Structures are given as structure tokens and as C-alpha cells.
Amino acid sequence: MGLNGKTLGIVGLGHIGKQIAKVAQAFDMSVLAWQPTIREDECKAVNVACASSLDELMRRSDIVTIHMVLAESTKGMIGLRELSLMKPTAFMINAARGPLVDEDALVRVLQDKRIAGAGLDVFDTEPLPANHPFRTLPNVLTTPHLGYVVQENYEVFYGEAVEDIKAWQNSAPIRTLPELN
């Protein structure tokens, strides 16, 4: 699927949503944004169109990407009704928080091929259970939650891993877990 001329729908035009808009624009995509408190000036500042409603965004987008915080008011905000508004050729991307999307509803529309696919790195239960349908559906791509990773995170993570291995080799383990009884 070429991205040129496609519409990216961004649910949540905060810091991350604005960065995603820039990337989409670099691929000549149209960008449509919505959040409960969206303002026209926010959209104009990053050269994106404001959707009048979540329903409009879901209907018009070729790819929907979610960038909202998880709160009582946003939990399950994308359910079967919203997913059913999507084009059969559309993709759902959730790299924010698993519970923003009703997981059972997403499984259902993916199994029924009512949308083309989903890209997910967040889930209701993490790690994703071994028997979860997302693991076997051919139209789902899953990854570990990596959205927070920057060079500095890798340097700390791998640096500490090397320290841990060296300490263990010297029979002086560090950063150990307490024994469970």
C-alpha cells in the first residue's frame, strides 16, 4: 500500500500525535486529527485537518493511529461501533495504551476481515498471553511496547545488562529480584 494520497487519522493531537503528523506529511499523506478537546488553531499550527467527531475520523481514515492517555474517560473509546465505521481497507494502529481499544471488538473485526489489519504494541494484558488471537491472526502485527525508546534508553538498558552479567560472573550479582515464597 503506497501512502501517498492516503489519509492518516490521529486520535490525540498531543506531543506524540503532532510528531506522527509530521512523519505522515513527509509521505504525502493527508492528516486528520481528533480529540475530545480539539481546537482548530491546534490543527492549523501543524497543518492538519480537524475532524468534527471521532466518527468522522474513523470513516475517512485509511490508517487510524491512537495517541491518547488512558483515563476512565478514554478507556474503551474505540469499540465495535467505532471500528465498524472504518473502511474495509483501513488499518488500526495502537501504540498508546491497550485498553483505549476494546480488544474483543478489535479481534472480532479483524477475524471478520471488516478492516484490513492492525499494528499493536500495547495490549490489555502484557505480556500478551500465549493463546491470544492477536498471535495467530494473519492481519495483525505485534511488537513489544517500544514507543518510549531513544538512544539513551538503550545505553542505560544494555549498559546495566552488561554490568549484571559481569557481576554474576564474579559471584556478586546486583539488581536481583527478591526470592518468592
For the annotated catalytic residues, the residue numbers are 97, 126, 145
Contacts of 98 (CB under 8 A, 6+ apart): 120, 122, 123, 124, 125, 126
Contacts of 130 (CB under 8 A, 6+ apart): none
Cα 80 from Cα 101, distance rounded (Å): 9
Q: In 86-166, where do the E strands start and end?
A: 91-94, 117-120, 140-142
Cα 150 from Cα 143, distance rounded (Å): 16
- Chain-centre distance for alpha carbon 94: 2
Record the cell numbers describing residue 132, joined without a space: 491470544
